[in-house]
């Protein structure tokens, strides 16, 4: 895509409301610092070398965005949050990831260009998808999904979540950045004849455009999109987990076909195997890396630091701004280095310890494991009411339970150091959302991958068997907290906690 590409015309995204005015002011305030008033004109193409994909070429327009603090701050946000404290090589950042997504979007786009048939799809569309890939993670905060879990619960996002059709919190922030007047102005300076910023923003939140454009959106926001293809490989590579996806076969078997009257991305039957690999890889990565108990403990410790700062009314000073974590935008200001340095600068000894314990790996320990294998249910139990709290929006309820356990254990530590952690339950809609051609000539309607083979159900069951919730606390409190937790859950939820719930985390089962 050249810097002065002909305009593709703005596309109205349906049902996107105007953001709350205070929210937009905060975004504008942030962009005043992180986005220059005008782009630096480079005009020349550059080659970037990526450890995973090799060489990636960026044109002058793309570089104009890359060379801004808004983008460069992604160097200080780790892709997998605190995973590096368990998998030491997972120090890769959001910056490498977004460049990798640009690479994958380009690759998928060019593969589709060869097989598009009569459908409208051109080089310019690939240019837009590359930009969407470049921008798609601008709304991430420190430690990526770790901070997203915290600000995602703030009520300011509720009104937007409905109109943006359940987009993820960081996608909503990214969207707000892209549609701001400041960013639009910058975009116009880079691409004077291109008014496609709304279309690009729509790709990111999955907000649907016209029916004939949905397959384009799926290259960046779909069951086997560029984002997934990069992070599967990147996260598995750097964590040392050997996962395999036959990327070349996927690209060669991609087509556009009508699914229920709309042109969508599909694969031929021989492309079903790489799709199955993607589904399994995603579940294995989730259970082995993202939901690893030590990484979950770190996430709780980070949330505990935020909670402590709120409880003791200690906002983080950032220039002239006091960040009290009451707004999702506060998390955009802070990168990981700044958060770490807070531990050195604070005069509050407890806050210092909380931050240092996290960054120097003196982690919370498991006092109890919650899973279908460690709980004996009855016909009259209320165990589903506890699992319900794994949903987002239930943070307060989980904290209330943790507080009760802390009190019942005799308050052996700070309240911010006892946690009931319930990761999200496995969710496998992708297998129903991905379609396989039954014949190359497209005479019959494509069928879903799940109809082709019930892979979604098998992967979901794998995830359910591997799902673990935990009670975390400092090492020296484990016995007391374990005893309090056992008593609490057996009384409130009418189940029996089996000895395995404690033996598996090397705690002596309470009597």
Partner 1 sequence: MSQETQKWTSFDVVKGMLANLAVSDIPASIPRLHTALCQLQKQQAFARLLADYVFEDRSHFPFSRDFQTDLVNLEQSGHLSTSNPDFITYSIRQKLKTTFENYGKPLFTAEEGNLLKQMADEFEKALDLEPVSA
Under the rule (CB under 8 A), what is the footprint of partner 1?
161-162, 165-167, 206, 208, 217, 221-222, 259-260, 262, 264, 372, 377, 379-385, 387-388, 390-391, 424-429, 432-433, 435, 448, 450, 454, 456-458, 460-461, 464, 467
Nearest-approach distance from CB 496 to partner 1, in angstroms: 14
The rounded distance, in Å, linking the Cα atoms of 181 and 31 is 10
Cβ neighbors of 452 (< 8 A, separation 6 or more) are 269, 272, 436
Nearer to partner 1, 340 or 466 (CB): 466
The rounded distance, in Å, linking the Cα atoms of 364 and 358 is 9
Nearest-approach distance from CB 372 to partner 1, in angstroms: 6
Nearest-approach distance from CB 130 to partner 1, in angstroms: 20
Among 276, 283, 227, 284, residue whose Cα is nearest residue 250: 276
Nearest-approach distance from CB 220 to partner 1, in angstroms: 11
The upper half-sphere exposure of residue 422, i.e. CA atoms within 13 Å in the direction of its Cβ, equals: 24
Nearer to partner 1, 146 or 450 (CB): 450
Alpha carbon 292 to its chain's center:
16
Nearer to partner 1, 20 or 252 (CB): 20
DSSP states of 58-83: E-HHHHHHHTSHHHHGGGGSBTTGGG
Q: Measured over all CA atoms, what is the biggest interatomic distance in the chain, rounded to whole angstroms?
A: 74
Copy the structure tokens of residue 455: 């892979």
Nearer to partner 1, 362 or 391 (CB): 391
Nearest-approach distance from CB 368 to partner 1, in angstroms: 17
Nearest-approach distance from CB 398 to partner 1, in angstroms: 14
With 0-12 / 13-18 / 19 or more C-beta atoms within 10 angstroms meaning exposed / middle / buried, residue 65 is buried
The rounded distance, in Å, linking the Cα atoms of 338 and 360 is 16
Nearest-approach distance from CB 457 to partner 1, in angstroms: 4
- Give the Cβ contact number of residue 100 at 10 Å: 25
The rounded distance, in Å, linking the Cα atoms of 213 and 220 is 12
From residue 238, give the alpha-carbon distance in Å to each of 86, 118, 426: 11, 40, 23
Nearer to partner 1, 29 or 381 (CB): 381
Nearest-approach distance from CB 454 to partner 1, in angstroms: 5
Nearer to partner 1, 193 or 385 (CB): 385
Nearer to partner 1, 24 or 448 (CB): 448
Nearer to partner 1, 51 or 162 (CB): 162
């Amino acid at each position: 895509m050249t810097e002065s590409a002909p305009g593709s015309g703005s596309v109205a995204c349906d049902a996107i409301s105007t953001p709350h005015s205070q929210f937009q002011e905060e975004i504008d305030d942030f962009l005043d610092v992180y986005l220059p008033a005008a782009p630096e004109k480079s005009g020349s193409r550059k080659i970037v070398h990526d450890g995973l994909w090799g060489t990636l070429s960026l044109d002058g327009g793309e570089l104009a965005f890359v060379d801004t603090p808004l983008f460069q701050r992604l160097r200080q946000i780790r892709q997998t949050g605190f995973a590096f404290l368990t998998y030491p090589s997972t120090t890769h950042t959001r910056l490498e990831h977004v460049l990798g997504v640009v690479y994958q979007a380009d690759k998928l786009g060019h593969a589709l260009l060869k097989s598009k048939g009569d459908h409208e799809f051109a080089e310019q569309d690939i240019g837009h998808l590359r930009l969407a890939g470049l921008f798609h993670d601008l709304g991430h905060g420190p430690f990526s999904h770790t901070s997203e879990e915290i600000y995602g619960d703030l009520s300011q996002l509720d009104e937007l979540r409905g109109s943006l059709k359940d987009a993820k919190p960081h996608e909503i922030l990214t969207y707000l950045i892209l549609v701001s007047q400041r960013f639009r102005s910058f975009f116009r300076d880079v691409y004077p004849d291109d008014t496609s910023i709304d279309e690009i923003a729509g790709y990111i939140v999955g907000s649907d455009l016209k029916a004939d454009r949905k397959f384009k959106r799926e290259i960046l926001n779909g069951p086997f999109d560029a984002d997934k293809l990069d992070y599967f490989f990147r996260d598995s590579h750097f964590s040392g987990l050997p996962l395999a996806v036959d990327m070349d076969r996927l690209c060669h078997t991609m087509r556009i076909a009508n699914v229920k009257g709309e042109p969508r991305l599909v694969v031929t039957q021989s492309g079903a195997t790489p799709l199955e690999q993607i589904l399994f890889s995603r579940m294995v990565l989730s259970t082995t890396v993202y939901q690893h108990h030590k990484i979950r403990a770190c996430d709780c410790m980070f949330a505990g630091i935020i909670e402590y700062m709120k409880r003791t009314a200690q906002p983080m000073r950032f220039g002239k701004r006091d960040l009290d974590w009451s707004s999702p935008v506060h998390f955009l200001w802070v990168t990981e280095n700044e958060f770490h340095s807070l531990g050195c600068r604070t005069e509050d000894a407890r806050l210092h310890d909380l931050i240092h314990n996290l960054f120097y790996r003196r982690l919370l320990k498991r006092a109890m494991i919650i899973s279908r294998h460690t709980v004996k249910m009855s016909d009259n139990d209320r165990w589903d009411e506890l699992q319900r709290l794994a949903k987002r929006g239930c943070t307060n309820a989980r904290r209330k339970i943790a507080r009760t356990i802390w009190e019942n254990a005799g308050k052996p530590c700070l309240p911010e150091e006892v946690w009931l952690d319930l990761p999200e339950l496995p969710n496998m809609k992708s297998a129903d959302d991905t379609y396989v051609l039954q014949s190359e000539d497209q005479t019959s309607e494509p069928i879903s991958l799940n109809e082709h083979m019930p892979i979604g159900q098998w992967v979901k069951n794998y995830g359910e068997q591997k799902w673990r919730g935990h009670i975390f606390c400092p090492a020296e409190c484990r016995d007391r907290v374990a005893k309090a937790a056992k008593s609490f859950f057996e009384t409130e939820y009418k189940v029996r906690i089996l000895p395995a719930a404690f033996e598996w985390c090397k705690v002596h089962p309470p009597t």
